[in-house]
Every structure is written in C-alpha cells, then in structure tokens.
Amino acid sequence: MIDDGRLDLEVLARSLKALGHPVRLAILCEMASCGNACCGDIVGRLPLAQSTISQHLKVLKKAGLVEWRADGNHSRYQINGVNLSSTGRTILAYFKSLHEAAPSGCREIKNTSE
C-alpha cells in the first residue's frame, strides 16, 4: 500500500470501505476468535442470514482482508493477517502525513462533546 514512500490512496480507500461496515467488522471479530470459519459457522454466531454473511465475506475477500480456500463442500475463510496489518500501517502513515503537512499556524480544534 506504500510504494516508494507514496500512499496508494485507491487501495487504502478500498480497504477502508471494506472495513467501514459494522457487519464486516463483526465478521472479522468472529474469524479472529476461531482462526478460520465457513460461512455457516459465522451465521451460527451472528443474527444474520447466510446470504448476508456471504455477501460481506465477498467484499472482505475482494479487498484482500480475508483469504478463501475450498474444503470439501464448504468454503473456509480466514483473516489475511499480512494485508490487514499492512492496511493498519497505511492508515497510520496516511494520518501522520496529513498531520505533518498541516501548516504550523493551524490551531487545534477543541472537542466540544465533553
């Protein structure tokens, strides 16, 4: 995601979009707790239809955040730790670059929700 010190914003946006849905985050949490799982395993743990889980797994797979392999009549999924870690590092690098690019005269925004 970082090539020659430059961020690939298209790849970053695709990863963030895949991570930007609460169901997909819940699926990743379930997969992290069990190592790998078939769609039916996840359906048994989350109150969602098999078709819904399957669609979200497809998005995560397309973004490279989960890997797929055939296991008999089932499809098994597991987190792609290398890509997920790379995504995390890229997110940090992106926000660090924004912070460093900000003019020194910019004032800090106060959190008014407290």
Query: 32-49 pLDDT, tens per residue?
Result: 998 889 898 999 999 999
> Is 53 contained in some domain?
yes
Phi, psi (5° rounding) for residue 7? -80, 140
Alpha-carbon torsion, ordered 47, 14, 111, 22, to 10 deg: 0
CATH code of the domain in which 44 resides: 1.10.10.10
> Is 9 contained in some domain?
yes
What the block records as the tokens of 14 is 């695709």
Q: Which pLDDT band holds residue 93 (cuts at 50, 70, 90)?
A: confident
Strand ranges for 1-114 from DSSP E: 2-3, 6-7, 36-38, 66-71, 74-79
What is the pTM (predicted TM-score) of this model? 0.77
Phi, psi (5° rounding) for residue 13? -65, -40
Q: Which pLDDT band holds residue 1 (cuts at 50, 70, 90)?
A: low
> Is 69 contained in some domain?
yes
Distance CA 53, CA 88 (A): 23
> Is 101 contained in some domain?
no
Task: Print the domain residue range for 69.
Answer: 2-83
> Is 16 contained in some domain?
yes
